[in-house]
Amino acid sequence: MSGAFQSDMWYRVAELRPKLHGHVRICRQRFRGRAWYLLADRASNRVHRFTPAIYALIHGMDGEHSVDELWATLAEKLGDNAPSQDDVIQLLYRLHAADVLQAGVPPDIAEMVERKRRTARSGWLRNVLNPMAVRLPLWDPQGFLNRAWPLVRPLMSPFGALLWLAVVGIAAVAAAAHWRELTENLSDRVLGLQNLFLLWLTYPLVKLCHELGHAFAVRRGGGEVHELGIMFLVLAPVPYVDASASSAFRSKWARMGVGAAGILVELFLAALALFVWLALEPGLLRAMAFNVMLIGGVSTVLFNGNPLLRFDGYYILSDFLEIPNLAQRSGQYLSYLVKRHGFGQWQAESPSDSPGESFWLALYQPVSWIYRLLIMVSIALFVASKYFFIGVGLALWSVLSMLVIPLGRGLSFVLADASVARQRRRALLTSGAAAGLIILAALFLPLPDWTNAEGVVWVPANAEVRAGAGGFVTRVIARPGAAVAENQALLQLSDPDLEADMAVRRASVDQLEVQLASQAFNNQLKADLTRRTLEAERAVLARLEHRADELICVAARSGNWVVPNAGDLDGRFFPQGALLGYVVSGALRTVRVVVTQEEGDLVRSHTRGIALRLADRPDERLRARAVREVPGGSQQLPSRALALEGGGRFATDPRDTNGLNTLARTFQFDLELDTDATDLSFGTRAYVRFEHQPQPLAVQVYRRLRQLLLARLVV
């Protein structure tokens, strides 16, 4: 209720006798302990929310009583709590604009046509400003829902709930048992050209079942669904239904059930697909079943089930919090805070109806905007990695719709909006000061900067035992697990080709020595040539003998001789430089960390401090220092724990049976713990933070963006 109690414009509406259209019904709901009334327009599936005082006025609109009579009666009952005449005028305009009110006067056909044009234009503009989700309505499914309801009703009963729990529960156990097989070589299986085509075909079918789940849930609650169409989500056709009729349901649990129905259907389909995938041999149907599982899981987490996007999760959260129009009212609340505390409009009214709403209204819009921006930019970069110009266009469109246009609207509001005319000077000063502070802070305020990486507990560099020359293991001199001394022989390797080459060289040396002895007395010139050839052969033989000596692997330090897969040593071939095992002594204090090429120079040149946590003791924060960088870049990880398949961050070559060869070159650093940590287990995962010199936000964003473009787009 706002404004003066009486209005100078009252004479224009006082004698009207309004009446609601027959396709309008009113229902009562409770939000956060307060009663509200919803006016549901079944023709357009739009819903309007009113307070009990406004409802008392609307309820009396029967076409027989005038507006003045209705208001006078309400003012007599409610006194100062009654709506003002200006409030009543605004209410009549709102109902008229929504096409739910007839006021006993001939309708303005031209005005009605223009209003319909504005509605169509706003829908077109919404599609243009949101190219990631363009909607095209196609069909009224209400007749189909009525005919199919007797068949679907048992699935939306307690029996259906028990069936869903049994199927999904069994599938979850089966998925855990076959997790390695499901996730093995995941990126190559998903991004293969044939699988992408199957994914494109499967996605609309799964989503059609998803949307029908919403529709039948609305039908179960007594509502109607009159629109089913296609939404082009990131250029992929996806079915959708208009389930807005559920917003008129009295129970919030019924409304949440409509929002959750699609997610439950997808999980059920994913569970059935898992059983099909386990039962079939590799082939087309098995690949489609795998894609159904992928869609039912990934899309639910990133899109449908995520409340930060305006899909199913958003409406479930909104109903659970009992905050209708959460996103819209969050934007209004932020605007209220700016107007009241920034521009000094103390008469501005908060859209928050209760103290508990303020926290959610202030939080939702900023968090949702950040998430949507990250999702849109990630999708654009993914597309750009395959189709450069299309991806760049999507990225520019995303920046335009989520950054440039909102900033333009804000600037237009400050410069030209009539509501801030009296506070225009303060609004300009406040906005300019805020923008200046943000720019100065971004350019000059140093902020903490760091690089996160992962590593494993490792042994010191001299503890590694590597093959000095390539060969087959012919003799295990020191038993694995035994204590060994420095320079003690551990393994004997053999290279038949090397031995044959040495025999040939020795014979050549012997022949040249005899030849030199016979030429030394009768042909000095030939003797000089033979001597030079002999020296060259002896040098080659010396190098071969040195390689033969390196076939005996020795310990560089004393300790315990540890060999992975010791039972497979006999007869196994190791190339030169291959890791054979370790000689470990005392407590482990070394952590080997792997970073990407983009992070290598930053870690190498700008690290001020290093902190890390171990996976088996996450509550303990340890300090460390870099003691060694593994020379040159490498495409081999020290441990499979750092690969994607082991829970790490590095994608590996699917052709590598060991799962250690990365697709991109990496850099490795050895860290030494500053504290005497005890009981460190070899191979334990470590989460490392390299702390750098504080830098302004603009510098950090520029560096990260440049690294991203270099890594993803090679520009």
**Distance, CA of 75 to CA of 82 (rounded, Å):** 5
Task: Specify which of 86-90, 506-510, 560-564 reaches the highest per-range mean pLDDT.
Answer: 506-510
Instruction: Give residues with Cβ within 8 angstroms of 677, minimum separation 6.
Output: 587, 589, 622
Q: Degrees (nearest 5) of the Cα angle 17, 19, 25?
A: 160
Query: Does one domain contain both 171 and 301?
Result: yes
Q: Which helix (H) or strand (E) holds 552?
A: strand 552-554
> Cα 547 vs. chain centroid, distance in angstroms?
52
Over residues 390-401, the pLDDT tens digits come to 667 777 777 787
Query: Does one domain contain both 338 and 305?
Result: no
pLDDT category of residue 170 using cuts at 50, 70 and 90 = very high
Domain boundary residue, one of 41, 73, 107: 107
Task: Specify which of 1-10, 132-141, 627-636 reaches the highest per-range mean pLDDT.
Answer: 627-636
So what's the pLDDT on residue 3? 44
So what's the pLDDT on residue 610? 92
So what's the pLDDT on residue 46? 72
Query: Does one domain contain both 175 and 295?
Result: yes
**Distance, CA of 347 to CA of 610 (rounded, Å):** 53
pLDDT category of residue 101 using cuts at 50, 70 and 90 = confident
Angle between helices 326-337 and 312-321 (to 10 degrees): 70
So what's the pLDDT on residue 151? 92
Domain boundary residue, one of 107, 142, 173: 107
pLDDT category of residue 164 using cuts at 50, 70 and 90 = very high
> Cα 400 vs. chain centroid, distance in angstroms?
22
**Distance, CA of 713 to CA of 715 (rounded, Å):** 6
CATH number for the domain that contains residue 665: 2.40.30.170
Query: Does one domain contain both 157 and 284?
Result: yes
**Higher local confidence (pLDDT), 6 or 72:** 72
The strand ranges marked E within 79-206 are 101-102, 133-139
Tokens of residue 478, six digits: 């020191």
User: What CA dihedral angle connects 396, 399, 400 and 401, to 10 degrees?
Assistant: 120
pLDDT category of residue 386 using cuts at 50, 70 and 90 = low
> 445-458 b/e with 16+ CB inside 10 Å = b?
eeeebbbebbbbbb
Neighbouring-strand partners of residue 38:
27, 49
**Distance, CA of 259 to CA of 246 (rounded, Å):** 9
Query: Does one domain contain both 159 and 273?
Result: yes
* First vs last C-alpha separation in the chain: 58
Query: Does one domain contain both 225 and 297?
Result: yes
The single residue listed with the structure tokens 């919803």 is 38
So what's the pLDDT on residue 186? 59
Say yes or no to pLDDT of 183 above 90: no
pLDDT category of residue 129 using cuts at 50, 70 and 90 = very low
Starting at the edge strand found earlier in the chain, the sheet holding 24-31 runs 24-31, 34-41, 46-50
Q: Degrees (nearest 5) of the Cα angle 321, 324, 325?
A: 120
Q: Is there a contact between 551 and 533 (Cβ–Cβ < 8 Å)? A: no
Q: Is 575 helix (H, G, I), strand (E, B) or coil?
A: coil
Count of domains in the chain?
Answer: 5
Say yes or no to pLDDT of 653 above 60: yes
Q: In this structure, is residue 639 part of a structural domain?
A: yes
pLDDT category of residue 213 using cuts at 50, 70 and 90 = very high
Q: In this structure, is residue 550 part of a structural domain?
A: yes
pLDDT category of residue 111 using cuts at 50, 70 and 90 = very low
Alpha-helix runs per DSSP H in 298-354: 312-321, 326-337
Q: In this structure, is residue 236 part of a structural domain?
A: yes
DSSP state of 217: H
Over residues 32-43, the pLDDT tens digits come to 777 787 777 766
So what's the pLDDT on residue 112? 45
Query: Does one domain contain both 273 and 135?
Result: yes
What does the pLDDT average to over 18-25?
78
So what's the pLDDT on residue 118? 54
Query: Does one domain contain both 665 and 611?
Result: yes
The single residue listed with the structure tokens 């992975």 is 564
> Cα 153 vs. chain centroid, distance in angstroms?
36
What are the CA-CA distances from residue 561 to residues 15, 198, 457, 483, 484 (Å)?
101, 52, 17, 6, 6
pLDDT category of residue 71 using cuts at 50, 70 and 90 = confident
pLDDT category of residue 102 using cuts at 50, 70 and 90 = confident
In terms of Cβ atoms closer than 10 Å to its own Cβ (0-12, 13-18, 19+), residue 28 is exposed
The single residue listed with the structure tokens 């787009």 is 713
Q: How many CA atoms lie within 13 A of 163 on its CB side?
A: 11
**Distance, CA of 272 to CA of 22 (rounded, Å):** 45
What does the pLDDT average to over 129-142?
69
> 277-296 b/e with 16+ CB inside 10 Å = b?
bbeeeeeeebbbbbbbbbbb
The percent of residues above 70 in pLDDT, for the chain, comes to: 88
DSSP state of 54: H
Q: Is there a contact between 590 and 460 (Cβ–Cβ < 8 Å)? A: yes
**Higher local confidence (pLDDT), 216 or 422:** 216
Query: Does one domain contain both 312 and 353?
Result: no
The single residue listed with the structure tokens 């994913």 is 270
pLDDT category of residue 582 using cuts at 50, 70 and 90 = confident
The rounded mean pLDDT for the chain is 81
**Distance, CA of 511 to CA of 504 (rounded, Å):** 11
Query: Does one domain contain both 624 and 690?
Result: yes
Instruction: Give residues with Cβ within 8 angstroms of 620, minimum separation 6.
Output: 613, 614
Q: Is 696 helix (H, G, I), strand (E, B) or coil?
A: strand
Of 539, 545, 531, nearest to 503 by C-alpha is 545
Q: In this structure, is residue 445 part of a structural domain?
A: no
What are the CA-CA distances from residue 68 to residues 96, 97, 105, 664 (Å)?
17, 21, 16, 77
What are the CA-CA distances from residue 501 to residues 144, 491, 537, 547 (Å)?
84, 22, 12, 11
Over residues 267-323, the pLDDT tens digits come to 899 999 999 988 888 888 888 888 888 888 777 777 778 888 888 888 899 888 888
**Distance, CA of 272 to CA of 164 (rounded, Å):** 10
Q: In this structure, is residue 416 part of a structural domain?
A: no
Over residues 697-710, the pLDDT tens digits come to 888 888 877 776 66
**Identity at 652, one-letter amino acid code:** T
Q: In this structure, is residue 417 part of a structural domain?
A: no
Say yes or no to pLDDT of 105 above 60: no
Q: In this structure, is residue 2 part of a structural domain?
A: no
Tokens of residue 238, six digits: 């996806």
Query: Domain containing 103: what range?
Result: 10-107
Q: In this structure, is residue 222 part of a structural domain?
A: yes
Query: Does one domain contain both 385 and 483?
Result: no
> Cα 162 vs. chain centroid, distance in angstroms?
32
Query: Does one domain contain both 156 and 282?
Result: yes
Q: How many CA atoms lie within 13 A of 296 on its CB side?
A: 27
**Higher local confidence (pLDDT), 273 or 80:** 273
What does the pLDDT average to over 149-177?
90
Maximum CA extent, the chain: 143
Domain boundary residue, one of 377, 395, 410: 410
So what's the pLDDT on residue 113? 46
Q: Which helix (H) or strand (E) holds 238?
A: strand 236-241
